[in-house]
Amino acid sequence: MIRTTPVLPLAAIATLGLTACTPSGFDMDLRDRLGIAAFDTTPAVQQAVQRRPEPDNRGVISYPDYQVAVARNGDTVASLSQRLGLNAQQVAEYNGLPSNVGLRRGELIALPARVSEPSAATGAPTAIASATASIPATTPIATVPLDQRASTAIDRAEGNTPAATPAAVRTPSSNGTQPTRHRVERGETAFSIARRYDVPVSALAEWNGLDDQMTVRTGSVLLIPVVDRSAPVPDRQASQPGQGTVAPPPPSAAEPLPAEEANQAPPKETPPSPALQQQTTSASASGAQFVYPVQGSIVRAYSKGRNDGIDIAAPAGTTVKAAGSGTVAAITRDTEQVPILVLRHPGNLLTVYAGVSDITVAKGDSITKGQSIAKVRAGDPAFLHFEVREGFESVDPSEYLD
């Protein structure tokens, strides 16, 4: 069965998009890049994963329950299907692709039906050819139509789990442990999928032949890299998010406290504090840190876990302003190529702007409160989705808005 997962909230997609790969392919701990402890991805990026098995001369990799094919230079769905003796339209539909679309070198294509197993005759490595010889060529793959997923209700019941546990490990083969398959849902990104399965996004990209932009297509099938359980896990001294640091042992009761010095300096007199509450300005009178990014009616209120922000009705083309001063932390897109903008502010705060277009800022730019950053995207109805995050946790924006 191909595992499906619910669409992640927009802010989750955007904030997960803040992560990136270093030139060496090791994913940085997000605290190193953002200084935000709640975004700690160290456990995921330190996971050692197995290498993807090598395909045979046709590009086929075979597992007990399914097969995939690795695209060559210049391949299309049609040419790959012809090489394997499969119906191009079926292959295209199974992967959510047009039949004439060009494929990247190394891109992974799921096969809707089994082809002849890799063998010495097809250029498979000796160990793989030996092990796959006993797999029946007629074994059907466990297909789940895009519009009829019996497992959707079960999978969506896990929607409140930030990092779902991947499906149970299946029968090993000479290609190693059979990987979990994931069907890309609308709104997901490579970053959100990697986070959900607790694997490095660089490994997900390498296994599936993703491009430099980590592009994933709705309806496509990804293989989740297999974690190498035999690899040692680096010892981490830092505390996990949400946990305090280890306190030092208390002083021993058996040892006497040091004697107080006889000649201690007299305490200095502290002058009375000024009555600051009587010296407010117009900016500080409300106590609000942010301003509304657009003016309009709130058509959907904040509800944690259901709507992690507020939806503000505004005509398409309305200028979207930065709620507060800060820097552009990320500009990413969902699978529908709708942009999502994330600003980072002092005090471990983020603001998220979705339903926008015509973004006028770039990642790393310094932003001032009230600065124009985008326009409201056309829609029916048109509105701006706005979130405030303390670290990774959403909070009610009204607590911060003037």
Residue scoring higher pLDDT (294 or 231):
294
Least trusted range by pLDDT, from 3-12, 132-141, 183-192: 132-141
In the structure, what pLDDT confidence band is assigned to residue 36 with cuts at 50, 70 and 90? very low
CATH number for the domain harbouring residue 356: 2.70.70.10
Instruction: Look at residue 97 in the predicted model and tell me its pLDDT.
Output: 86
Please give the pLDDT value at position 163: 40
Quick one: 203 and 316 in the same domain?
A: no
**Residues forming a β-bridge with 62:** 67
Domain boundary among 181, 201, 223: 223
Distance between CA atoms of residues 277 and 254, nearest Å: 49
Q: How many domains does the chain have?
A: 2
Residue 3 domain-assigned (yes or no): no
Judgement on whether residues 42 and 169 belong to the same structural domain of the protein = yes
Are 67 and 196 found together in one domain?
A: yes
Is the domain of 56 the same as that of 170?
A: yes
Question: For residue range 238-297, what is the model confidence (pLDDT) as tens digits?
Answer: 445 455 545 555 554 455 555 555 455 555 555 554 443 344 444 344 567 899 999 999
Which residue has better confidence, 119 or 236? 119
Same domain for 166 and 305: no
Q: What is the pLDDT of residue 360?
A: 95
Q: What is the dihedral of CA 201, 204, 208, 209, to 10 degrees?
A: 40
For residues 212 and 304, membership in a common domain is answered with no
Q: Which of 195, 223, 251 is the endpoint of a domain?
A: 223
Distance between CA 196 and CA 352 in Å, rounded?
A: 21
3-state secondary structure at position 222: strand
Residue 131 within any structural domain of the chain: yes
In a domain, 321, yes or no: yes
pLDDT at 121 over 90: no
* pLDDT at 3 > cutoff 80: no
pLDDT 10s digits, 344-377: 999 999 999 999 999 999 999 999 999 999 999 9
Q: Is the pLDDT of residue 330 over 80?
A: yes
The residue from 201, 223, 245 where one domain ends is: 223
**228 inside domain:** no
Q: Do both 308 and 167 map to the same domain? A: no
pTM: 0.43
Q: What was the pLDDT predicted at 272?
A: 52
Dist. CA 200–CA 51, nearest whole Å: 13
Which residue segment(s) compose the domain that 378 sits in?
298-399
Q: Select the more confidently predicted residue: 210 or 213.
A: 210
Q: What is the mean pLDDT of the chain?
A: 71
When comparing pLDDT for 206 and 2, which is higher? 206
pLDDT for the residue 284: 40
Q: What is the DSSP-derived secondary structure letter of residue 167? A: P
User: Are 212 and 329 in the same domain?
Assistant: no
Q: Do 103 and 213 sit in the same domain of this protein? A: yes
Distance in angstroms (rounded) separating the CA atoms of residues 388 and 216:
27
Q: Does any domain span residue 92?
A: yes
Name the β-bridge partners of 32. Answer: none
Q: Is residue 209 part of a domain?
A: yes
259 within a domain of the structure (yes/no): no
Q: Higher-confidence residue: 336 or 333?
A: 333
pLDDT digits (tens, 9 = 90+) for 83-118: 999 999 999 999 988 878 889 888 999 999 998 887
Pick the range with the lowest mean pLDDT from 11-15, 181-185, 285-289.
11-15
State whether 178 and 304 are in the same domain: no
Domain-located, residue 269: no
Q: What is the dihedral of CA 54, 60, 62, 66, to 10 degrees?
A: 130
Query: What local confidence, expressed as pLDDT, does residue 153 receive?
Result: 30
